[in-house]
Amino acid sequence: MEGIIEMNQVSKTFKDKKAVNNLSFCIEKGSIVAILGPNGAGKTTALSMMLGLLDPTEGDIKIFGKHPKDQAVREKTGAMLQEVSIMDRLKVKEVLDLIRSYYPQPMDMNVLIRLTGLAESDLKRFAEKLSGGQKRNLGYALAMAGNPDLLFFDEPTVGLDITARRRFWESVRELAGQGKTILFTTHYLQEADDAADRILLFHRGSLVADGTPEEIKSRIVKRSVSFLARQEGPRLREILKTLPVLSDFYDKEGRIYVNTENTDLVLETIFAEKLEVRDIRIDQGRLDEAFEQLTISQEEAV
Amino acid sequence: MMKILIKQCRAELLRVIRNPYYVFWSLLMPIMFYFIFTRVVNTGGENQAEWAAHYLMSMTTFSVMGSAIMTLGIRLVQERTQGWTTFMRVTPLPGPVYFFGKMFGQTVMHLISIVFIFLAGVLINGVSLPALTWVYSVLWILAGSLPFLAIGTLVGTMKRVDTASGVSNAIYLALAVTGGMWMPIEIMPKLMQHIGKWLPSYNFGNGAWEIIRGHAPDWSNILILLGYLILFMILSTYIRKKQEVV
């Protein structure tokens, strides 16, 4: 696999605040990667550094093996930033034509017009007069103007309705199918889960998890093993307390709960030690709850 | 590269032409002043024809200085606060081309202002100058606007449109008054005259005042304007570099 983005121990400090802390990852060609995290987790900062808009305080970033500000990188990259604003007093078609002219192998004009989803009459309007949703569509088309191999989307679906959202992700999957690499930020786990084939989970500027949506979900969702004690004795609790994978241990409604990342190991222990328990259950917390938990703890820290 | 440059200039040109608002405001006040101080108020000069041409140059330089400082500055702040500048930095468009396009659009706007105000001078007072004098005046005013465009880029580094518009307005009017654009510098107190002669506005205006009297602009005018141009360019580049790092 070909590495398109390589981040090597990248940190960014603003005055006294560390926005991004020691990021290292590599993104391969043709993948759709989500940077997931609550507001203030450093997603946009990381993206800005990959786009060459910010210089890292420490560390090294390579895009297509080159510096992010390299002209060759810019020519193969497209971006849709959070604030989509368009130069005033230019018509939609003129803006598209202008941005296309910056690239050596631009996307076909008709394809771009289709991407905007705008009617012929809207194409002749001044771009600043478009509605919010239409501007976003234009922003998407502008990101595609250079027929890029690598695309960055910063919170791409904020403000889009459900239909527009679905259309957007369908089109993104199609792009990945053509071998383009896509990196986007989001604070919705659901969206990262649906759209990405890899999630980078950010928390307070650090990369706390990196994997497929399945792997990430299993990491952040709380699982527990619970049971009734057939015969209370100190031995039972002592053995459970020594489990290396234990994260929480409590009694609730007569049951003993063991929160753990690894339910298999807990069960193994129960059987191997022939613990006097019955009615064993494995429970899984809800995904959105788990993610919300992460978000809340972040806000409390601020 | 050439193709991009032409496209960029064309886009900026279209934006200027389609925004008559800016041109209108850069014309309204100078032409009104021109009418008042050459027709309504008797300024009592001996040579009325010379005064009509002199004050025409005052008002034209006044107008161009205003759009160079204010229009450019405020537009730059607008484009940045709305995120457009950031988007442009992500595209392969080289920064200097973007900058050149802006200057080109601005210069076209200045040219339109000059033509309209000169036309007003002819219509209001029948100002008559040799053809070459007209041409030299236009060229001087276009070239002399450069230090003020540099001030405009300096204003353009400000964070908010409100601040930029307030500050640039104050700089603009202060420069106009102290530089003798509203009233000849000779009627001001001696101290003000000494200060005024070092200001870019006086040197800008004086070049044009010399031209309509059949002289070339003083070397001091050229050198002082050049000095300001370099100073403001360095300042503006320095501030921009600093802002990029943060």
Average pLDDT of span B172-195: 94
What pTM value is reported for the model? 0.84
Tokens read off for A180? 């383009």
Q: What is the DSSP string of A26-87?
A: EEETT-EEEEE--TTSSHHHHHHHHTTSS--SEEEEEETTB-TT-HHHHHTEEEE-SS----
From-to residues of CATH 3.30.70.100 in chain A: 222-284
> Is B92 close to A14, i.e. CB distance below 8 A?
no
Q: Reading across the β-sheet that carries A3-14, which strands appear in turn?
A: A17-28, A3-14, A58-63
pLDDT at A302 > cutoff 50: no
- The beta-carbon neighbor of B83 closest among A15, A83, A102 is A83
Segment 154-213 of chain A within 8 Å of chain B by CB: none
Per-residue pLDDT reduced to its tens digit, A111-135: 999 988 899 999 999 998 998 888 8
Distance CA(B207)–CA(B57), nearest Å, equals 9
Closest approach of chain B CAs to the CA of A89, in angstroms? 5
Interface test with A, best of B8, B71, B89, B91 (most A CBs within 10 A): B91
In this prediction, residue A217 carries a pLDDT of 80
Percent of chain B residues topping a pLDDT of 90: 83
Contacts of B241 in chain A (CB under 8 A): none
Distance CA(B87)–CA(B96), nearest Å, equals 15
* Cβ atoms within 10 Å of A270's Cβ, excluding its own: 19
Q: pLDDT band for A301, please (50, 70, 90 cuts).
A: very low
pLDDT at A288 > cutoff 60: yes
Percent of chain A residues topping a pLDDT of 90: 51
pLDDT at A1 > cutoff 70: no
Contact A145, A107 (CB under 8 A): yes
Percent of chain B residues topping a pLDDT of 70: 98
Chain B residue with minimum CA distance to A87: B84
Q: pLDDT band for A222, please (50, 70, 90 cuts).
A: confident
In this prediction, residue B44 carries a pLDDT of 61
Residue A90 contacts B where some CB pair is shorter than 8 Å: yes
CATH entry 3.30.70.100 includes domain A222-284? yes
Positive or negative CA dihedral for A80, B86, A12, A158? negative
Contact A149, A179 (CB under 8 A): yes
Of A253, A285, A227, residue with least CA distance to A237: A227
> Is B15 close to A90, i.e. CB distance below 8 A?
yes
* Cβ atoms within 10 Å of A283's Cβ, excluding its own: 12
Per-residue pLDDT reduced to its tens digit, A60-111: 999 999 999 999 999 999 999 987 678 889 999 999 999 999 999 999 999 9
Contacts of A84 in chain B (CB under 8 A): 83
Q: What is the DSSP string of A251-277?
A: EETTEEEEEES-HHHHHHHHHHTT-SE
Residue A25: strand pairing partners: A7
Per-residue pLDDT reduced to its tens digit, B117-131: 999 999 999 999 999
Residue A119 is given by DSSP the state -
Tokens read off for A257? 């709960």
In this prediction, residue A121 carries a pLDDT of 93
Distance CA(B126)–CA(B142), nearest Å, equals 23
**According to CATH, what is the number of the domain A3-218?**
3.40.50.300
Residue A105 contacts B where some CB pair is shorter than 8 Å: no
Average pLDDT of span B81-89: 89
In this prediction, residue A295 carries a pLDDT of 63
Of B57, B62, B67, B106, residue with least CA distance to B207: B57
- The beta-carbon neighbor of B11 closest among A14, A90, A146 is A90
Of A50-64, A231-245, B78-92, the one with minimum mean pLDDT is A231-245
Is residue B213 helix, strand or coil?
A: coil
Contacts of B84 in chain A (CB under 8 A): 85-87
From-to residues of CATH 3.40.50.300 in chain A: 3-218
> Is B15 close to A146, i.e. CB distance below 8 A?
no
Q: pLDDT band for A272, please (50, 70, 90 cuts).
A: confident
> Is B89 close to A53, i.e. CB distance below 8 A?
yes
- The beta-carbon neighbor of B83 closest among A71, A85, A146 is A85
